[in-house]
Structure 1
Amino acid sequence: MILAQFQSPGPILVELGPISIRWYGLLIATAVIIGVFLSQYLAQRRQVNPELIADLSIWLVLAAIPGARLYYVAFQWENYAQRPQEIIAIWQGGIAIHGAIIGGAIATLIFSKLNKVSFWQLADIVSPALILGQAIGRWGNFFNSEAFGRPTDLPWRLYIPPANRPPEYANESFFHPTFLYESIWNVGVFLVLIYLFFWGLRHPRRYQIGTLACVYLVAYSSGRIWIEGLRTDSLMLGSIEVAQLISVLGIIFGIAGLVWLYGFRRNLPDVVSEKVNNN
């Protein structure tokens, strides 16, 4: 019995003469817009100037999207060495969220330093929007028929066109819809972060700044490890799946941060002093 069978209608939403509007780009733009509005709302609840988030969002876009692309290209260089003009073709897919996170974290760190605001305060405010954006963005993989899992005969499955199948699975038609697994997982992480955010508002003496960022690292990375194990197109470093390696590091850093905050009851290292941090 088939419970759900997914098949992409194609990567292009509409064509207007020489202009093509792709699902991937539309989803990224939608995720950014929703993320900005959500982060501004959360900032207001934390008594942080929402305009500061609007300014930060520009930094994040300028850093995260190129970071995601360059990270992907770096681990797929053999595919781009002879076609360097395709490095900027982000609309065709091929970005890595870990590159976006790294680029965004660096941008936020610099932004925090320049504006004398807590990095961890901003990270807490942005984390729910980030994971929600990831949930939305994963559907871009669906429309591009990419980032899917191994072949499966489960009642839920994803049809992949022959042109998009790995050579070793050329005779297979249905694969694990890993885009869906991760999207659902990310929505669950989003709900956890939102709950913790408002719990922190109700219990300000018990909540430590940086909690949401640390929980994000642990929760997202935990899901990414097992989902990545199903995929057929993982970025590799030798025989190691890069996403799993980064996810393990994310879990370690996230747990260490939570132990530091609630075990030792100390603030995380920040770009501003504790006095400024509490304002």
Structure 2
Amino acid sequence: MVNRVAFEIFGIEIYWYALIIVSGIVIAMWLSTREAIRVNLKKDDVSDFMLVGLPVAFIGARLYYVLFELETYLADPIQILNIRSGGIAIYGGLIAGGIWLYFFCRKNFIQPWTFLDIAAPSVLLAQGIGRWGNFMNHEAYGGETTRAFLEKLQLPNFIIENMYIEGAFRQPTFLYESVWNVLGFFILILLRKYTTLFKQGEIALAYLIWYSFGRFWIEGMRTDSLYLFGEIRVSQALSFVLFLGAILLVIWRRKSNPNLKAYNRTYGSDQRII
């Protein structure tokens, strides 16, 4: 089984999870910055956003997880701060980051939809990379399966061996979501660059549609879900709402504003609100 500890510094264990998450964030920032410059935003807009947005998103991801495991954490509140034991939720990070983005764009006179369109594909890629942190942590896996099934997927042996958890081989749901997210990233950036399919704001909405659709089905295979009530999983419920809401918003925006520009038509124009 893969060791979750990458190395030690002065006796402090540094986990692969942290290194992989940070790598995903750095790549996403680099890609978003390149796209921001191309649509006439400042080079520093993305880094300025992330300076506050990253810790806000992290806190949101932690609080989201704690909220749906409240009984456990109320019994031992100090564990809320024990992030090394795990327990962050991507949807919480997206919600908190989205709130900060609204205030950031207002403060800096940036079109919010443009900023979302710039960031969305890169965020999807970062999520795909981040799932490998779950792999290293031996988490975000599915129900029991067989080695023969995993071998039929043509998976490398190191993945198969690491999917032997708690006495059984497990469905590599981390991998399913990683592949789904990376595939979505390439589709979005290719369509964004070479077509006029997307109106302003629709790349971000397409991200929500793509991610929530995949997350809904993959979440149903996982064994570590947060539950809303009964058998209703939190992430499935939220995925359904986001999927339907994003589709309806695309329809409403196009009907209410037939003159919406295609995203590609914004190149070279001023994306700041005067």
Same fold (TM over 0.5): yes
Question: By how many angstroms is 1:15 displaced?
Answer: 1.8
* Cα distance change, pair 197–59 in 1 and its aligned pair in 2 (3 A): farther
Cα distance between partner residues in 2 of 1:193 and 1:90: 33
The answer for the alignment partner of 1:114 in structure 2 is 107
Q: Structure 2: state its 5+ residue gaps.
A: 152-159, 262-269
Residue 220 (1) aligns with residue 211 (2)? yes
Letter in 1 for 2:97: G
Give the TM-score taking structure 1 as reference length.
0.84
Give the TM-score taking structure 2 as reference length.
0.86
Residue 159 (1) aligns with residue 160 (2)? no
* Cα distance change, pair 15–161 in 1 and its aligned pair in 2 (3 A): farther
Cα distance between partner residues in 2 of 1:73 and 1:45: 39
After the TM superposition, which residues 50-89 of structure 1 pair with which residues of structure 2 at under 5 Å, given as runs?
Answer: 50-89=43-82
Question: By how many angstroms is 1:155 displaced?
Answer: 2.8
User: Residue by residue, what CA displacement relative to the aligned partner does 1:125-173 show, whole Å, maximum 9, x if unpaired?
Assistant: 11011101100111111111111101112234553443xxxxxxxxx41
Question: By how many angstroms is 1:207 displaced?
Answer: 4.3
Residue 210 (1) aligns with residue 214 (2)? no
Q: For the Cα contact (< 8 Å) 2:142–2:172, is it kept in 1? A: yes
Question: By how many angstroms is 1:241 displaced?
Answer: 0.5
The answer for the alignment partner of 2:170 in structure 1 is 175
Q: For the Cα contact (< 8 Å) 2:125–2:185, is it kept in 1? A: yes
Cα distance between partner residues in 1 of 2:165 and 2:171: 14
Cα distance between partner residues in 2 of 1:211 and 1:86: 40
Question: By how many angstroms is 1:175 displaced?
Answer: 0.7
Letter in 1 for 2:215: R
The answer for the alignment partner of 1:105 in structure 2 is 98
Residue 39 (1) aligns with residue 43 (2)? no
Question: By how many angstroms is 1:251 displaced?
Answer: 0.7
Cα distance between partner residues in 2 of 1:234 and 1:178: 12
Letter in 2 for 1:237: L
Cα distance between partner residues in 1 of 2:123 and 2:242: 15
The answer for the alignment partner of 2:239 in structure 1 is 247
Letter in 1 for 2:187: V
Match of 2:6, SS?
Answer: strand
Q: For the Cα contact (< 8 Å) 1:63–1:104, is it kept in 2? A: yes
The answer for the alignment partner of 2:191 in structure 1 is 196
Letter in 1 for 2:225: S
Q: For the Cα contact (< 8 Å) 2:40–2:271, is it kept in 1? A: no
The answer for the alignment partner of 2:182 in structure 1 is 187
* Cα distance change, pair 14–256 in 1 and its aligned pair in 2 (3 A): same
**How many residues get paired?**
253
Match of 2:92, SS?
Answer: helix
Cα distance between partner residues in 1 of 2:14 and 2:116: 32
The answer for the alignment partner of 1:230 in structure 2 is 221
User: Share of identical aligned residues, percent?
Assistant: 38
Letter in 1 for 2:88: I
The answer for the alignment partner of 1:10 in structure 2 is 3
Segment of structure 1 superposing worse, 45-54 or 126-135: 45-54
